[in-house]
Structure 1
Amino acid sequence: MAIAGFLRRIVKNDAMKEDPVEIYGWRVFALAAASCFGGMLFGWDIGAIGGVLAMEATQKQFGYFDASKADKSNQDQNIVSTLQGGCFAACLITPYLTDRFGRRWCLIVTGIITTIGVVFQAASAEHGNLPLMYVGRFVAGLGVGAASMLTPLYVSECAPRAIRGGLTAFYQLFIVTGTMMAFWINYGSLLHITGKALYAVPLALQAVPAVFLSIGMFFCPESPRWCAKQDHWERTKEILVRLRGLPADHSYAQGELTEMATQLESERRLVGDATAITLLKEMWLIPGNRKRAILTVLLMICQQMAGVNAINYYAPQIFKNLGMKGTEPSLFATGVYGVVKVAACACFLTFVADSLGRRWSLIWTGFAQGLAMFVVGIYGRVNPPVEGKPIPPFGYVAITCIFLWTVFFQFGWGPCCWIVISEIPTARLRAMNVALGALTQWLFNFIIARTVLTMQLTMGYKGYGMFFMFGSFGFAMGTFVYFFIPETKGLSLEKMDELFGVTQLVKNIDEEPEARAGNIREQPVEKRQ
């Protein structure tokens, strides 16, 4: 009850006022935390790899310390972007696997695959074996990419509607927490570790969230909406009443079951049992579904073109270009950057996600991000740092704007994109739609990871033109959301069809779904063996 009382003070939406307090129990928060270690996989890699590659000892171990600046940049980009290749490949096959085997077991296997990839990376660093590093990055990418699709999907399908945004934003919180921890591990390793362990330890510790993911998901239930989609209604009811902390005959639990049955039955009446090809046709030929798919793609393109992974992957190099001298100060600044990210994201999911909503969070932060990036670009254009001289006052303003930029990003485009793309699709297309978003995200993540250091060498002195480009995208993103993205806070997942105009699904069905839900209510819930 204490949890519910706290939530009702900070979450301002109609669903929070209407729904029973019992549904906000510890189980749903434990479930979200366990699954969101899938986000930490990505965050830990972001924080680890950039700092490791910035270390001179790493460059010497892999044999490119004496290469030209352009060749070093090219090598770093190759190593970083190999992970995105694995992520992209994972998003092509994960929709089928998760619809076939469920969200829970796919997340368990995801942690195992990532651990194998991390072992390869640590072994490559120990022996200076660059091909093994590429293999390890690609294998780890398979796990990271699968988790990027599975985690928001699983959480959104299990969360109560009033706090679905906040719980799905846990994914982003775990990303930035993993990034922050990896940043400080890199910094601590540089200060206190010598020899090959200097870079092998930060790489090996990427396995920590992978292990926690697999262990945590072993104790979590399957998604009730996935069970309903498989027509496992007894299992659906059992999981739902446990997650909600309600008796099986409670009106709220029965209403949620009825909504699931109604939506699933209406979808089947419209398109029947579908293969992957027919699901793709359904996604792109039905106007309401096509609109949601296009919005998903555009949101994830915008998220990446805001510049988030340019800074995340190459923060030490970027801080050096803004005037900081040496690896140690730049890694320290990167660690502070990580702390700011975590604090901002925690504030967002606690006070904003389900109160201000998704739409206005995306609008104002888009414009704020654009302004912050333009300040950094202007610094590089009119008053750039000079080698061997202290950072000018304008330089400190620019560095501050990098920190402000990440605050704005964590209040909008970081968590909100994942929230929106996981909650707007219809049930039968949810896995495919989230996979489409993840696929788009990893494609543009790859483009950014593969080109940032090149842009810093070619787009003006110290790459100031890159910041103008990211800033322009920020302004365009805010405008795009204002005109095209509706508000979804407080709506049940089953209400999204009405929001996007797919009302035919509801109008042309008879009373069979209600009868089915009634039959479910009359049957006792039996424990699974």
Structure 2
Amino acid sequence: MTSQHEPLIAANSRHHAADNDDDDNFDNFDNTSDREDSDAQSALHADKQPDESPGLFLWLLTFSAGISGLLFGYDTGVISATLVSIGTSLSDRPLSSLDKSVVTSCTSLFALLISPFASVLADAFGRKRVILAADGLFIAGAVIQALSTTVASMVVGRSIVGGAVGAASFVIPLYIAELAPAAHRGRLVTMNIVFITLGQVVAYIVGWLFGAYGSETTGWRWMVGLGAVPAAVQTVIVVFMPESPRWLVKAGRSAAARDVIARVSGQRAGSRRLVDATLKNIETEVREEAEARRLSNRRTNRRTNRRPGWRDSLYELFGIRRNRRALAIACLLQGLQQLCGFNSLMYFSATIFTLVGFPMPTLTSLVVAVTNFAFTLIALSLIDRVGRRRILLWSIPFMIVGLLLAGYGFSYIELSSNSSATQSSAPAAQGAAVVILFSIMMYVAGYAIGLGNVPWMQSELFSLSVRSIGSGIATATNWGANFVIGLTFLLLMDALTPTWTFALYALLCAVGYGLIWRVYPETAGLSLEDAASLLEDDNWGVR
């Protein structure tokens, strides 16, 4: 395996004579590491079976972890129907555009605040415990929302759910990526996105049912309260799920890691050799990163016998070129995923379709959610075959066209000065409404195939020592951009008009396309260790 720290390791070998006291723990590794690394790589390449489907145990783990994605999607989608169903139930008055923006964006704000903190907890206590903590927050937030009587209490409930979403959106893709074989990693991580989009579909169906047939005063309370049910189910399931083998190795529990890798590999031919090779690869990376960190600590006159903390991880993240590049790419993709404006449709789709005159806006929003779900399923079959980079470069142009076409459709609709009011019902506006619906479906299809799922492959860009904190910062970027979109969408619609708001999102997509073409390498089919090494190249690994 080509090490990210070869120059540092070479430098260390020149200092062995002077530093025998510090290097006792590494001498045994140095004599055999080259041979072991070669053997491990040979076994990995000999035993990879890219055409064989993941085993049943791995699918069960993915589905169990994916419940968090379902909750993520449900809480994202249910607010759309809730906003048009609340009426005067909160604070005894109709919600203003600012009320709607704050209730919506507080979820993203707290997701932004929690996701980096969750990355530290995931390194210290393991991935499973963070999932359990997120489930507890999901339950608490759902109950508080359902019992809310004021805008302020609703904001509190949505903020708690935001903390849960921030933790889950970071840890679930990381957990799945660290369990999955390289040949199927993209498909299995995308399964989490399938659950997110399924949660959005369920949210719109629930919103439509309670909006059409439920009580006007309590229907929306059931919408938000039902989010506690999947979280309670997952809390029970997670207790029986294994920990990530890479975290176990890092925590010094290689025997437990071997058991997990063996269970994930199943009973396939040669699986024992594959288990040994995978474990050896992980151990080698952990050893090399510990060695590099020790050298770095010595060079900066730090104590070398203390346990590395989050400050050391931050130093590695920003001090090593390939880690800086991984963070730049991950933050670019996560930021673009939100700044393209997609979640403005998820949060405010019912509001948008009310504006353009559809008689059943929540049911119309369901069409958008189903489009998102259907094309995410298509992405599931393409992501490992087509590749991450190529699927983005193919799909983003459809998003740009869809946004521009939606802006063009809005130019034929006359809105009042306040975006919460309905538009006039001129015949031209009715035709424009159909154009807007079609263009939004085109945009959502492009998003679902590419930008909706590829950014969540971020963990494969980072080396193990910074994978958790790097993924946490990238996820925080996602939620920071999400907060901006949720807070400003309705205000931009009022200030710039819908036409120019959608044109602005199209411009951001075009800028993102150029940056992706320039710096994002292809990582499909590579092990996590090999994928991270791409960013050592002068051309950022882009071939």
What is the TM-score of this pair, normalised by structure 1?
0.86
* C-alpha separation in 2, matches of 1:202 and 1:186: 6
- Does residue 358 of the first structure (1) align with residue 423 of the second (2)? no
* C-alpha separation in 2, matches of 1:448 and 1:64: 27
* C-alpha separation in 1, matches of 2:515 and 2:321: 19
Q: In structure 2, what residue type is equivalent to 1:25?
A: G
SS at 1:500 equivalent: helix
* C-alpha separation in 1, matches of 2:217 and 2:316: 53
**Partners of 1:365 and 1:478 within 8 A in 2:** no
Matches within 5 A, 1:94-105: 94-105=118-129
- Does residue 334 of the first structure (1) align with residue 365 of the second (2)? yes
* C-alpha separation in 1, matches of 2:237 and 2:372: 25
Superposition deviation, residue 398 in structure 1? 2.3
Q: In structure 2, what residue type is equivalent to 1:485?
A: Y
- Does residue 464 of the first structure (1) align with residue 499 of the second (2)? yes
| Residue identity (%) | 25
* C-alpha separation in 1, matches of 2:343 and 2:128: 28
Matches within 5 A, 1:111-260: 111-124=135-148, 128-246=149-267, 250-260=272-282
Q: Structure 2: state its 5+ residue gaps.
A: 1-43, 295-306, 416-422, 539-543
Could you list the structure 1 runs, at least 4 aligned residues long, displaced by more than 6 angstroms after superposition.
Answer: 14-17, 20-23
SS at 2:536 equivalent: coil
* C-alpha separation in 1, matches of 2:468 and 2:81: 34
Superposition deviation, residue 196 in structure 1? 2.7
Matches within 5 A, 1:70-81: 72-81=96-105
- Does residue 475 of the first structure (1) align with residue 510 of the second (2)? yes
After superposition, what is the alpha-carbon deviation per residue over 1:317-340, rounded to whole angstroms, capped at 9, x for unaligned?
A: 11223x2244xx111110111111
Do the aligned partners of residues 200 and 281 (structure 1) sit closer, same or farther apart at CA in structure 2, a change above 3 Å counting? same
**Partners of 1:370 and 1:473 within 8 A in 2:** no
Do the aligned partners of residues 330 and 195 (structure 1) sit closer, same or farther apart at CA in structure 2, a change above 3 Å counting? closer
* C-alpha separation in 1, matches of 2:51 and 2:389: 26
Q: Which one of 32, 36, 49 corresponds to residue 62 of structure 2? A: 32
Do the aligned partners of residues 175 and 409 (structure 1) sit closer, same or farther apart at CA in structure 2, a change above 3 Å counting? same
**Partners of 2:460 and 2:532 within 8 A in 1:** no
Could you say which residue in structure 1 is the equivalent of 2:22?
none
Could you say which residue in structure 2 is the equivalent of 1:400?
438
Superposition CA RMSD, Å = 2.1
* C-alpha separation in 1, matches of 2:47 and 2:336: 34
Superposition deviation, residue 195 in structure 1? 4.2
After superposition, what is the alpha-carbon deviation per residue over 1:467-511, rounded to whole angstroms, capped at 9, x for unaligned?
A: 0011111222222111110000000001123211189xxxxxxxx
* C-alpha separation in 1, matches of 2:483 and 2:110: 10
* C-alpha separation in 2, matches of 1:496 and 1:400: 38
Matched pairs, number: 474
**Partners of 2:358 and 2:364 within 8 A in 1:** no
Could you say which residue in structure 1 is the equivalent of 2:411?
381
SS at 1:490 equivalent: coil
**Partners of 2:138 and 2:231 within 8 A in 1:** yes
Q: In structure 2, what residue type is equivalent to 1:93?
A: F
Superposition deviation, residue 400 in structure 1? 0.3
Superposition deviation, residue 178 in structure 1? 0.5
Q: In structure 2, what residue type is equivalent to 1:90?
A: I
Superposition deviation, residue 64 in structure 1? 6.0
* C-alpha separation in 1, matches of 2:267 and 2:50: 9
Superposition deviation, residue 65 in structure 1? 4.2
**Partners of 2:414 and 2:424 within 8 A in 1:** no
Superposition deviation, residue 442 in structure 1? 0.8
Q: Which one of 529, 534, 540 corresponds to residue 494 of structure 1? A: 529
**Partners of 1:354 and 1:489 within 8 A in 2:** yes
**Partners of 2:357 and 2:430 within 8 A in 1:** no
Superposition deviation, residue 300 in structure 1? 1.1
What is the TM-score of this pair, normalised by structure 2?
0.83
- Does residue 346 of the first structure (1) align with residue 384 of the second (2)? no
**Partners of 1:15 and 1:491 within 8 A in 2:** no
Superposition deviation, residue 207 in structure 1? 1.4
* C-alpha separation in 2, matches of 1:45 and 1:494: 34
Superposition deviation, residue 21 in structure 1? 7.0
Q: Structure 1: state its 5+ residue gaps.
A: 1-13, 504-529
Matches within 5 A, 1:434-453: 434-453=471-490
Superposition deviation, residue 242 in structure 1? 0.9
After superposition, what is the alpha-carbon deviation per residue over 1:122-158, rounded to whole angstroms, capped at 9, x for unaligned?
A: 011xxx2333222211112111110011000000000
